[in-house]
Chains A and B, each alone.
Chain A
Amino acid sequence: MSADYDRLRERANFVRTETIRLIEIAKCGHYTSVFSAAEILSVLYYHVMNLSDDPDWPDRDRFLMSKGHMAVGVYPILADLGYFPKDWLDTYALLGSALGDHPDMRKIPGIDFSSGSLGHNLSNGVGMALGLRLRNSPARVFVIMGDGEQNEGQIWEGAQAASQFKVDNLVGIIDRNELCLDGATEEIMSIEPLADKWSAFGWNVHVIDGHSIHQLVDTFESLPQDSKSPQLILAKTVKGKGLDFMEGTRLWHVGLLAGKDAERAVAQLQ
């Protein structure tokens, strides 16, 4: 299927503008962790993943956000795909809403696994990919991780298991935006050389520009099938990408753009 690059670029910006709108309802949220992954989300949901109108279709591709705090950027996509009514978005983070800062698979159609505690979803994804294989499903499992999250020991337990069991229907993605909450990952707790580490754990590593729609499309489309190895996309990104005052700073990991500031941010994204 040929990609509509302009549309994918537009959908990435849709993720960003909707994130600004939803966080203004909650009065606090994780803008920058969504913005670094907006192109990845757009390409996965609108081009790569095999989905249907039924969010419970057994053979759908799965998407797990191990960095669960990016969920506010995924909810607008799920509503756009028709998995739940769009007016659910207007209740984001309010009492009685299904939609919170971290995703709940039991409340939200289209969420394939709950998350929130970092380091879990890669292991969940390994089990899910093996479970799909046992059930003879052609579905693949995509797991996006944060780069700060690479500090978690369980990531590496999951990494070795995926390699041991030759889980080749699993694609890991690292949103390498270089910042964790307190500062630069390399200053707080270094994770480099990241590509070498994942290679050493038996994964096929693909290092790309995580904001390039072309590179994302090409890489996802050319992932080998039946390779007997899990695939790892190391996506180099910019935390807060799209808003000049947010890019590359730790200060906006959590915050609020209210009123005129939200309007100004949306205008900059146009």
Chain B
Amino acid sequence: MELLDKESYHLGHLPAQATSAVAGRVLADIADTDDRIVVFTADLKYSNGTIEFEERHPNRFFNVGIAEQNMVSMAAGMAATGNITYVATFASFLGLLCCEQIRTDAAYTNLPVRLLGHHTGISFGYYGSSHHATEDIGIMRGIANLGVVCPCDAHSFEQALRQTVDVEGPIYFRLGRGRDPDVYTPDMPWEYGKLSVLREGKDGLVIANGIMVVAAMEAAERLSNEGLDLSVVDLHTIDPLDVDNLASQVASANKVFVAEEHSTRGGVATTVADTMVDQNIADVELIRIGFPADEYSEIAAPFYLYRHYGLDADGLVSRISSEYK
């Protein structure tokens, strides 16, 4: 049926959007010359774009239906036979529903299983808290052997996939909704395990990752017009953590703002706080800007939810400037 209203759409109409277009294409490209690559999804090949992998490598694509725990365990078993396995589903289901399969079958065994968790944070908007992932970094960074990386855009996601093919153990990729605007240009360096300094300023430091990076950059730009000169660091890799660089960045600032689409307990701010304690960094103020640790989300479309919780550029400008009054 031809749709008459320009706002109507169905699953066949979703455009090839930023990060959501990356997984299928990049993994299929890698698999063209590497027969160890296998991709799984749980009835979400349109949502996460793995359909492109299926089209190009149908014998190495497994759609396991709506059975996420089985998917993670199957991927671990397959990784034990010389393959490198990628599973893609909603982040909320990976960190919470599949936590034990990730820990016991993929991490305890230290197998090359790649967990692509998309639609992190509150990006699902009015789908509600069942589909939100605001605890996943806290869960994943507590699991030994498991890498944790939160790319903020298509370029950095592609770099993260390409740079980690031969990493020995499992890795969790924390991904946004798939429509994330570009932060990096193709010529900018991005290195797994190394933080990226995106902007340097003398008045304070904003640490962000994932979708909060673009908001942090916009906020820093606007605040610079008001005379506030902020550094912005993309702390994309939570594990292995770039401890030395993080410590030196934090130690050279008076105020450190951590902006994250995650609970303020257990995520990026907690990672920074751990580093400050462990490295004996005193006299630096840590301000946590994230999802409230003791709440479940209100209902709204993503744009309005981000605004409600102050997790957009406006919210960051307002919160950061209030700390300098």
**When chains A and B are docked, how far (Å) is the Cα of A251 from the Cα of B70?**
33
Q: Are A130 and B78 in contact, CB atoms less than 8 angstroms apart?
A: yes
15 CB-based A-B contacts, threshold 8 Å: A106-B108, A106-B110, A113-B80, A114-B108, A120-B73, A131-B77, A131-B79, A132-B81, A135-B81, A154-B69, A154-B70, A157-B70, A161-B67, A161-B74, A165-B62
Chain A proximity of B104: nearest CB distance (Å):
5
Task: Decide: A130 near B108, CB < 8 A? Known: A135-B83, A157-B69, A160-B65.
Answer: no
Q: Are A117 and B104 in contact, CB atoms less than 8 angstroms apart?
A: yes
**When chains A and B are docked, how far (Å) is the Cα of A158 from the Cα of B59?**
19
Q: Which of B66-90 contact A (CB under 8 A)?
A: 67, 69-70, 73-83, 85
Chain A proximity of B21: nearest CB distance (Å):
26
Tell me which residues across on chain A come within 8 A of B60, comparing CB atoms.
Answer: 134
Q: Are B38 and A131 in contact, CB atoms less than 8 angstroms apart?
A: yes
Quick check: is A100 within 8 A (CB to CB) of the other chain?
no
- Tell me the nearest residue of chain A to B108, going by C-beta: A114
Quick check: is A138 within 8 A (CB to CB) of the other chain?
no
- Please indicate which of the listed interface residues B65, B73, B85, B105 has the most CB atoms of chain A within 10 Å of its own CB: B73
Chain A proximity of B70: nearest CB distance (Å):
4
Total chain A interface residues with beta-carbon distance under 8 A: 30
Chain B proximity of A122: nearest CB distance (Å):
8
Q: Which residues of A contact B (CB under 8 A)?
A: 58, 104-106, 112-114, 116-117, 120, 123-132, 134-135, 137, 154, 157-158, 160-161, 164-165
- Tell me the nearest residue of chain B to A130, going by C-beta: B78
- Please indicate which of the listed interface residues B67, B69, B74, B82 has the most CB atoms of chain A within 10 Å of its own CB: B74
Q: Are B109 and A120 in contact, CB atoms less than 8 angstroms apart?
A: no
- Tell me the nearest residue of chain B to A152, going by C-beta: B69
Dominant secondary structure at the A interface = helix
Q: Are B77 and A126 in contact, CB atoms less than 8 angstroms apart?
A: yes
Quick check: is B188 within 8 A (CB to CB) of the other chain?
no
- Please indicate which of the listed interface residues A105, A131, A154 has the most CB atoms of chain B within 10 Å of its own CB: A131
Mask, B108-125, CB within 8 Å of A = 1, is 111000000000000000
Q: Which residues of B contact A (CB under 8 A)?
A: 35, 38, 59-60, 62, 64-65, 67, 69-70, 73-83, 85, 100-101, 104-105, 108-110
**When chains A and B are docked, how far (Å) is the Cα of A127 from the Cα of B39?**
12
Tell me which residues across on chain B come within 8 A of A134, comparing CB atoms.
Answer: 35, 38, 59-60, 78, 81, 83
Q: Which of A120, A129, A130, A137 contacts B105 (CB 8 A)?
A: A120
With A127-B78, A158-B74, A160-B65 already in contact, 12 other A-B pairs whose C-beta atoms are closer than 8 Å: A58-B82, A104-B108, A105-B80, A106-B110, A123-B105, A124-B76, A131-B78, A131-B80, A134-B35, A134-B60, A161-B67, A164-B65
**When chains A and B are docked, how far (Å) is the Cα of A112 from the Cα of B78?**
12
Chain B proximity of A145: nearest CB distance (Å):
13
Q: Are B101 and A106 in contact, CB atoms less than 8 angstroms apart?
A: no
Chain B proximity of A111: nearest CB distance (Å):
10
Tell me which residues across on chain B come within 8 A of A165, comparing CB atoms.
Answer: 62
**When chains A and B are docked, how far (Å) is the Cα of A31 from the Cα of B20?**
52
Tell me which residues across on chain A come within 8 A of B76, comparing CB atoms.
Answer: 113, 124, 127
- Please indicate which of the listed interface residues A104, A117, A127, A129 has the most CB atoms of chain B within 10 Å of its own CB: A127
Tell me which residues across on chain B come within 8 A of A132, comparing CB atoms.
Answer: 81
